[in-house]
Structure formats: C-alpha cells, structure tokens
Amino acid sequence: MREPFPDFTAAELAEVQAMNRRLRWAPRFRAPTPLGRMMIQTMLGAQAIVPIGTRGLSVSTRRVTHNGHAVALRILRPRTLPPRAVYIDYHGGGWSIGTASMDDAVNAAIVREGVAVVSVDYTTLPDITFENQIAQCHAAADWVFENAAAEFGAHDLFIGGESAGAHLAACAMLRLRDTRRDFARLRGAVHFYGPYDLSATPSVRAAGPETLVLDGPAMVPGIARLLPDRDEEGRRKPDVSPLYADLARLPPALFLVGAIDPLLDDSRLMAERWQAASGNGRFILVPESPHAFNRLPTRAASRANAWVRAWLDRRLAAAKAKAAE
C-alpha cells in the first residue's frame, strides 16, 4: 500500500504563502554571467570548508577516474555502523553552478537514517560540454555500483537529485540500466522538480515574470543555449531529454514538484510515462510551493524531506523482505 504524502495544516500552508510573498522580492535564477558564476562558485567552495549540518558524520572528498571520466565525489557516511545502502546524489544549479557541498544539510539527514551519500561534484558548464557532463555523471554512478561493497559494505543503492541534478540523475540511471547486469540493486529514485524535456514543456513555455525563484521568461532561451548545435527536435532526443527515452525496467521513483513551479509539467509527464512503462512512477504535487521548495525554511519543507527519507526506508524494508522469501 502506498503511504500517502502528508496533508499540510492550514498553519503550514500559511507559512509557505508568507515565504512566497518574500520570494517575490528576491532575484530570480537565470544562467549567470562568467563573472557571476565565478563569484558564486567561490562562495560555494568556501562553504565546503565548514560543512553545514554534518556534525557527527564522516565527510570526505575524493577524485576518481572511471570509464575514462575524472569526477570529484563528496562522501558522507555514518562514523560507526556500516550504512544500509548508498544514495547517489546530484546537486542542482542549472547545470552551470553549484557544488556537492550545497546538499550537505539535506544529505546529512539521509545519512542519519543509516544511508551513506555519494554526492557527485560534476563539472559545470561551460567548462564541459553538456553531453560530456551527462557522461561524467553516469561514470560517477557506475563507480558507486562497482565500489559500494568494498567502500561502504553496502549492496543496495538509490539515486536522485534536485532541479538540473534530477535531470542528470535520470540520464545516468537510464545508462546504468542499459549497461549494468546488476542494475536491480538500485532500489529507488528520487527526483525533485527536474527538467526532463529540453525542448521545453508547456508549463516552462508559459512561465512569466511573476514566476518565483526561476526567471520565467529566460527559461526557454536558457535551455536552448545548453545545446547550441541542436534545434528543438534535436533537444528532444532521449540522450538529453529523458522524457522521450524508453522508461521500461526502472525502479520505483518519486517525482516531487511544487504547484507553482514552471517545471510542473516536466515532473507530471515524466511520472506518467514512468508509470506507464515501469508501473512504479509516482507524481507528488506539493501545494502552494515554488521551485526548490524543499530547501526553504518552512515546516512543510521539513515534512516533505522527512517523508522522502521514510520512503527510502520503506524501499529498503521491501528489498529485505523480498530477499528473505
């Protein structure tokens, strides 16, 4: 039986609405200028020196080369008991900014549930081509498959990401399915508000200047610039737009998105196609919420993140019960 997503109280929804009113005055995210990108990455790099919310956990960084791709990994794990599973995480940032340490607070809560996290510090644009960024993210996930037992003493795996990271997680997972005989070790996937159609879904095309967090009018031209050598049809190809890929033989997946996020159609359509092909895709619409809702300092965000962690626990319990049959 599916555990229902929590109904937020009137007080919790009022808190979300108050946060939305404050966000109306905040700058919207769009692809940064080279100078802006450098400043943002410098600030994020400084944050990694003092991890946020990771007290009592083991935090390390590592650079690996796998399948011809070098990639940095940020590894969070319990200090004592071996983890029950490993979660492969991809940070957001529009493919062009961000670092793995950005996810420390959210990932630390997962680790406290007994699941190690390998957060992929992939190379951001324009320091890599978009296609090579996807290949690098796949190589990182494949490294975890190869090394989870030796490095963590764990067999079971999860994968997930937020925003652009959700897109990269989906792309990496599809390549894993097509290349790994032990793909069934992947027990679930968690996708927060990802873009899965790089030709732009209707809700992205309709995004206006009133859109919160993201710069609505800049979204369609910004997505087009990711792949300057491809036209709209080319950006719809399944190697870059997982919405159009074969979604059969995939593990249970969550697609969470806020009700006022312009990427709403991406999550809804992806969940529908996943459910039709694999029978285990679940769409979760979070009321009143904008892009990046689970990062905001609200009780609704905390409850949503806690529910996802409980879902991971249920997936592990189901795998354990099946193995005992």
Reference 230, options 298, 323, 130; nearest CA is 130
Residue listed under structure tokens 């049809």: 233
Tell me what pLDDT residue 34 has: 65
CB 222 within 8 A of CB 94: yes
What is d(CA 273, CA 285) in angstroms, rounded to the nearest whole number?
A: 16
Chain centre to alpha carbon of residue 96: 15
Residue 61 and residue 74 in contact, taking contact as beta carbons nearer than 8 Å = yes
Q: Is 95 left (phi over 0), alpha (psi -120 to 50) or beta?
A: left
> Residue 112: what pLDDT?
95
pLDDT of residue 281: 97
Residues of the chain with pLDDT under 70: 1, 32-52
Would you state the pLDDT for residue 80? 81
What is the tens place of the pLDDT at every residue in 263-315? 999 999 999 999 999 999 999 999 999 999 999 999 999 999 999 999 999 99
Task: Report in angstroms the alpha-carbon separations of 238 from 99, 171, 191.
Answer: 26, 9, 17
**Structural domains in the chain?**
10-324 (3.40.50.1820)
What's the confidence (pLDDT) of residue 29? 82
**Paired tokens of 312:** 């991971």
Strand bridging mode 85-90 / 156-162: parallel
pLDDT at 59: 93
Q: What is the pTM of this model?
A: 0.95
| pLDDT at position 186 | 98
pLDDT of residue 247: 98
Dihedral pair phi/psi, residue 284, rounded to 5°: -125, 115
The predicted-structure confidence for 158-193, as pLDDT tens digits, reads as follows: 999 999 999 999 999 999 999 999 999 999 999 999
Q: Smallest Cα–Cα separation from 100: which of 125, 118, 126? A: 118
